[in-house]
Structure 1
Amino acid sequence: MNKKRIIIFDDDTTRRDSLSMLLNMCPDMECVGAFASAADAVTHVAQTEPDMVLMDIDMPRGNGIDGTSRIKSAYPLLPVIMQTVFDDNQNIFEAIKAGANGYLLKKTPPDKLLEQLREAFDGGAPMTGTVAIKVLQFFREEPVSPSYKLSEREKDILKLLVEGHSYKMIAAKSNIAYYTVCNHIKKIYEKLHVNSATEAVKIAILQRLV
């Protein structure tokens, strides 16, 4: 089995070391780089060729949101998962606008963190529960924008994507087959004019679609 390659950006040395050790203990993932700043994020990505980035938000040199934006500009298909102690609205939505594929709090237990990283590799957009709640509150508080002619089933599936569920989890929660979920998501992408779950979630949030 080829291990998924992950790099870490976090200015906390102890946390970098702990995350590196955790990933390297996994049979299906490994840490191929750990850095204290996102100032040279694109260079580090080019050098390490990762399959995923774990990005801290609050770093004194090289902000994680700016780093994510630069990475996504250069590598739009590379998943970036934000990790932070903050769950305030501004950080959440700035991270999503920057192109983040998920948003996890640092207090997430190790086993849950690994599960959510695997979900991200499987096409999901994982979010810690409190973050997902804030996202849904944002939808309820803001005016509804054009629907893009999404069906009710497509809206339900898009909502589950926004909540951070993988395709497999969406199939289970919706009581439909995995391939049916894939077909619905393909249609959602066509209607939103996007090519990935990250872009779909971003439009759903910015346009208040669910």
Structure 2
Amino acid sequence: MNATQPAAIRLWVVEDNATYQDALAFSFKTSGSIELTRQFFNAEDARAALRAGPPPDAILLDVQLPGLDGISAISLFKAAAPAVCIVILTVFEDHRKVFRALCAGASGYLLKTAPAERIAAAIADAVAGGAPMSPSVARAVLGRFVELAAPGRNTYDLSARERDVLELMTQGLVKKEIADRLTLSPHTVNSHLKNIYVKLHVGTRGAAVAKALKERLV
């Protein structure tokens, strides 16, 4: 390697679509600035590899994965390797997913419609300390900030985890499914549900979901 040439960014990809994985691998191979060192089809295997070390410089992470989903995996990845940059690459531009990912520790959030050169540039930007986002995602984030800044909005003092549980409730998941999705015990989910009911001043799951949707709590 030339002494003046910067070292290639060591990247892991966590993506369950083999065809898309291959396309990414080809684009990174031709970029010259990124070295794709490992590929995973699920978050659990990637987490185990992180704990075994050494970690990469960055991880490109899908949201919709078998087993542990990408957003739930972010905090686990950061716990195993605090310095690693995590960039979400997904088809979802839902502002709630964007915010959950950023709050969990993601450095960037891109859509899979982004061209290969944009993805490579975003990874380099994240490693350099930036926060790359697709334009439509950036607009969603800005819109969410406007919503949160609106006066008189009651958040009912819900914790981040209680909001996670409440969001999954609005998606129709039952307690066991919520526990599996968030990697929590059923007992812990029950505790969160009780707290949610008390804070929202409701007595049933249906009332909690209705209030969450009406007041845009998730």
Q: Distance in 1 between matches of 2:133 and 2:150?
A: 22
Q: Distance in 2 between matches of 1:36 and 1:47?
A: 18
Instruction: State yes or no: 1:6 paired with 2:11.
Output: yes
8 Å Cα contact 2:107-2:126 kept in structure 1:
yes
Unaligned runs of 5+ residues in structure 2 are 152-218
Q: Distance in 2 between matches of 1:113 and 1:74?
A: 24
What is the CA deviation profile of residues 101-156 of structure 1, one whole-angstrom value per residue up to 9, with x for unaligned ones? 000000101111112122112210101111111111111122379xxxxxxxxxxx
What is the CA deviation profile of residues 145-180 of structure 1, one whole-angstrom value per residue up to 9, with x for unaligned ones? 9xxxxxxxxxxxxxxxxxxxxxxxxxxxxxxxxxxx
User: Which position in structure 2 is the counterpart of 1:141?
Assistant: 147
Q: What TM-score do you get using the length of structure 1 for normalisation?
A: 0.65
Unaligned runs of 5+ residues in structure 1 are 146-210
Q: Cα offset for 1:81? A: 0.1
Q: How many residues align?
A: 145
Instruction: State yes or no: 1:113 paired with 2:133.
Output: no
Aligned partner letter, 2:97: N
Q: Distance in 2 between matches of 1:38 and 1:48?
A: 17
Cα distance change on mapping 1:48 and 1:10 into 2, 3 Å: farther
User: Which position in structure 2 is the counterpart of 1:104?
Assistant: 110
User: Which position in structure 1 is the counterpart of 2:39?
Assistant: 34
What is the CA deviation profile of residues 164-204 of structure 1, one whole-angstrom value per residue up to 9, with x for unaligned ones? xxxxxxxxxxxxxxxxxxxxxxxxxxxxxxxxxxxxxxxxx
User: Which position in structure 1 is the counterpart of 2:73?
Assistant: 67
Aligned partner letter, 2:38: G
Q: Distance in 2 between matches of 1:114 and 1:96?
A: 19
Q: Distance in 1 between matches of 2:23 and 2:110?
A: 16
Aligned partner letter, 1:31: L
Work out which of the two has the higher radius of gyration on C-alpha atoms and give 1 or 2. Answer: 2
RMSD: 1.7
User: Which position in structure 2 is the counterpart of 1:92?
Assistant: 98
Q: Secondary structure at the match of 1:25?
A: helix
Q: Distance in 1 between matches of 2:61 and 2:125?
A: 17
Q: Secondary structure at the match of 2:37?
A: strand
8 Å Cα contact 1:7-1:53 kept in structure 2:
yes
Q: Percent same amino acid at aligned positions? A: 34
1:119-134 to structure 2, matched below 5 A, reads: 119-134=125-140
Q: Distance in 2 between matches of 1:99 and 1:125?
A: 11
What is the CA deviation profile of residues 41-72 of structure 1, one whole-angstrom value per residue up to 9, with x for unaligned ones? 22223445311000000012221112211011
Q: Distance in 1 between matches of 2:45 and 2:118?
A: 29
